[in-house]
Amino acid sequence: MKPFLFLLALLTVLNCKPKSEPVVENQPEPVKVELNTTKGLIVLELSDKTPLHRDNFIKIVNEGRLDSMLFHRVINDFVVQAGAYDSLKMAKMDSSDLKAVDYLVPAELDTSLFHKRGAISAARTDNVERGSAALSFAIVQRGPRSDSLITSDEKRINDWLQEYYFIHAEENKMWKDSLLSAENENNWRQFNVLKDTIRSLAKSFEFTPYVIPEHHREVYRTLGGNTHLDQNYTVFGEVISGMPVVDSIAAAEVNDRDRPLENIYIISAKVLE
- Domain residue ranges in the chain: 32-144+229-272
> CA 149, 150, 152 angle in degrees (round to 5)?
60
**Helix orientation angle between 173-184 and 188-201, rounded to the nearest 10 degrees:** 160
Q: Is the pLDDT of residue 50 over 60?
A: yes
Residue 32, beta-bridge partner list: 45, 272
- What confidence score (pLDDT) does residue 8 get? 43
- What confidence score (pLDDT) does residue 94 get? 72
Write down the mean pLDDT value for the chain.
90
- What confidence score (pLDDT) does residue 99 get? 82
- What confidence score (pLDDT) does residue 152 get? 97
pLDDT digits (tens, 9 = 90+) for 205-247: 999 999 999 999 999 999 999 999 999 999 999 999 999 999 9
Find out whether 263 and 81 touch, Cβ atoms under 8 Å.
Answer: no
- What confidence score (pLDDT) does residue 88 get? 58
Find out whether 83 and 135 touch, Cβ atoms under 8 Å.
Answer: yes
| Total Cβ atoms within 10 A of residue 17 | 7
Report the top-level CATH class of 32-144+229-272: mainly beta
Measured CA to CA, the distance from residue 209 to residue 238 in angstroms comes to 26
> pTM (2 decimals)?
0.87
